[in-house]
Homo-oligomer: A and B are copies of this chain.
Amino acid sequence: MSTSRGARQLTIKEVASHAGVSPMTVSRTLAGGRNVRPDLQERVMAAVQELGYYRNENARSLRPGQPSGLVGVAITNLANPYYGNFALGVEEVAAEHGRRIMLGNSGEDDARERQLVSDFIGRQVDGLILVPTSGEAEHLRPERLGDVPLVLASRRVPGLEVDTVLLDDVGGAYRGTVSLLDAGHTRIGFLGNRSSVFTGERRYRGYEQAMAERGLVVDPLIVARAQQDVAAASRAARAMLDLEDAPTAIFSANNRNTIGALREIGRRIREGLPGPAVVSFDDFELSELMPVPVTIIDHDARLLGREAATLLFSRLDGSAEGAPRTVELPVTIEHP
């Protein structure tokens, strides 16, 4: 019975003396029981049960060569359901490999990301999975990480050659835009992230490419690339749709912009104004119930997480060596 204060930690020694064996026998039993007599193993396990002993994993990983079994995961915005699913995918694969994840939210803040990474390293993580903010790469150089393998997800960091899992941003945006063009639209607005955000840039490129192929010039008046949240996206959509020469369709480069745009479009429709067609990079629930047709460029964030973790563990297991690899996951297009 452990009481309020102090309550010294239960150690392998107590278990050993309780079972009448040496600490080494307890350690060996807990490690799988190779070369330990079955009756002693039983006594040890009984003592463990009775005392409620948990092995101290920190002390264990202190010995050289012992992995900590921890993976550090830093994402940019846990409030976004996409990143929740991403984290879930990572957690699943980690659990399958007997590892645990330490999760941090960088909130797109560079300094916070640096702090998270150094903290993860200090806690002896076996590997790192990062959705990088768009800042510097200095703190992510392999030599700064002390040989802890790093996998980037969703975004690349300029000048940093490491394992990376990406979406087919350019292709998805291209195909989504083409579907609008095929439907007869020629004046297509764009809502997206700052161009310094990797995905924002790539998705814009796909949009631009499709427009250019049809000989259409992109009008800067109907391109808004600075919205990081729903409210800003709503305002940008409003400005665009209030124009004399308003777009008849909108390409939205991510979930947050789509929700904002649709909020504004819903408002207009309730006022009897026309609503433009929408293509959204990123799915959202009940898109089929929207008052305007919404085409979805969909992908599986959970799978993205699983792939990132798989890439990491292939490095940890030594089953993959050599040059950094990039996996680009396909996206699907769902017409309304």
Contacts and interface: CB of A to CB of B under 8 A. Distances in A.
Nearest to A284: B285
A91 B62 contact: no
A335 B324 CA distance: 53
A83 B259 CA distance: 20
Interface string A152-170: 0000000000000000000
Interface size grouping (class) on chain A: 35 or more
Contacts of A7: 146-147
Given A81-B81, A143-B52, A105 B122 contact: no
A284 B302 CA distance: 20
A83 B119 CA distance: 24
B64 A8 contact: yes
Contacts of A302: 79
Contacts of A85: 78-79
Shortest Cβ-Cβ A-B pairs, 7 listed: A84-B84, A78-B88, A81-B81, A58-B58, A103-B103, A266-B289, A54-B122
Interface of A: 1-2, 4, 7-10, 52, 54-59, 61-62, 64, 68, 70, 78-81, 83-85, 87-88, 91-92, 95, 100-105, 118-119, 121-124, 143-144, 146-147, 230, 259, 262-263, 266, 284-286, 288-291, 302
